[in-house]
Structure 1
Amino acid sequence: MSPESIMPLIAFAAISTVTPGATTTLATASGAHFGFRRSLPFMIGVAIGLAGMAVAAAAGLAGLLLAMPSLEFAMKLAGSAYLLWLAIRIGRSGRPHLDRSIAKPTSFAGALWIQLQNPKGWAMTLGAAASFGELARGAGELAALLGTVFGVLALLSLMLWCVAGLLLARLLTQAWQWRALNIALALALAASIATMWR
């Protein structure tokens, strides 16, 4: 496969991963409150989760979730509750304390869980597997291609959102500004839950 032949896949994955959603909102909040370095486990967890979903989609395993509505419902319910808890936590937080070790960002495992129950992630990886299957000679090659492209682009996208949050941490100086930002991020995260139930 030539580099030109995978450009449409790269464009699709870049647009899909950079658009606002639950994980990009969390990356922004994490960057603002914990800084870039402490947010890395979260960003890596989401990227690995999306790469794994792409591999599963290429292998046809994601069809299991679609075939078992009760499993899909349970995952949505648990994911919604977790995201709502995170939204409340963000909304009630104050000015960031980047040097304080008491506060902890979302862990690698938490990020992985958020991503694996994310319907947007399943939709985009299933769509990519169906749309770009002709790029590979088999399921294994397609899985490697999709996993790599989605994993790398998700990580880059989350890094951009995290840096945006870090810049906000440097620009906002008043307590009321932080309160407004935290409430806005919490509302955006809570609103993203609705997309899981479409």
Structure 2
Amino acid sequence: MLTFAAAVFFLIITPGPGVMTTAGFGAAYGFKASLRYLVGLFIGTNLVMLAVMTGLAAVILSVPWLRNVLMFASVAYLLYLAGRIAFAGAKVAFMEAKSPPGVLGGITLQAINPKAYAVNTSLITGFDYAPDAFLFEMISKALIMNIIWIPIHLAWLWAGVSLHKLNLSDRTQRTINILMALSMLGVVALALWSASRGAG
């Protein structure tokens, strides 16, 4: 169980769309406005976890055309969120972004987030510490994952908010937002590369 907890920590803390957007929106909009988005991410990640535990995710992702549709939707939505972050601190922006996506935005991201499915699948199926007590194992895994998920994402939000509170110049704020958005695009590129390797 301790090995499982360590794996959860390292897989969740690594930059992915969830933590990058959490930090990005925290830097761009502050804590209160971004907290609703974080609540949505929490709900979404638990829905993905449930889908993996019940086998629904495996059934859906086994259909090639549906998997491709989800990947396209994921990339498109991540690009949209990267744009929201990149231009949030700019006075002249490609799109006006007065507030981050709310609860629904967080749920939507996790529903189509390739990292969410990959992490949950590897954690749920890769650590068999109670093979004779399936229900206990699933419930304990869900509790451990949530106990670790919450402080990690709050820490990323705090990191973003700390940048926000520094009252940086518009130019510096815009640079930070663009760097965060570019990091997210890197995650998108990795997801596409991983998907292409899986298909090949």
Give the TM interval when normalised to the shorter protein. Answer: 0.7 to 0.9
Q: Does 1:128 align with 2:130?
A: no
Work out the CA distance in 2 between the residues paired with 1:147 and 1:41.
22
Please state how far the C-alpha of 1:172 moved relative to its aligned partner: 4.8
Aligned length: 188
Q: Does 1:184 align with 2:200?
A: no
Q: Does 1:53 align with 2:79?
A: no
Please state how far the C-alpha of 1:136 moved relative to its aligned partner: 5.7
1:21-170 alignment runs, 5 A limit: 21-94=16-89, 103-135=98-130, 137-170=132-165
Please state how far the C-alpha of 1:163 moved relative to its aligned partner: 0.4
Q: Extract unaligned runs of 5+ from structure 2.
A: 92-96, 195-200
TM-score by length of 2: 0.84
Write out per-residue CA displacement over residues 23-47 of structure 1, whole angstroms, 9 at most, x where no aligned residue.
Answer: 1111111111222222222112212
- Are 2:88 and 2:98, in contact at CA under 8 Å, matched by a contact in 1? no
Moved over 6 A (4+): none
- Are 1:51 and 1:146, in contact at CA under 8 Å, matched by a contact in 2? no
Q: Any idea what SS the aligned residue of 1:105 has?
A: coil
**Structure 1 vs Structure 2 CA RMSD:** 2.1
- Are 1:16 and 1:124, in contact at CA under 8 Å, matched by a contact in 2? yes
TM-score by length of 1: 0.85
Residue 193 of structure 1: aligned partner: 188
- Are 1:27 and 1:39, in contact at CA under 8 Å, matched by a contact in 2? yes
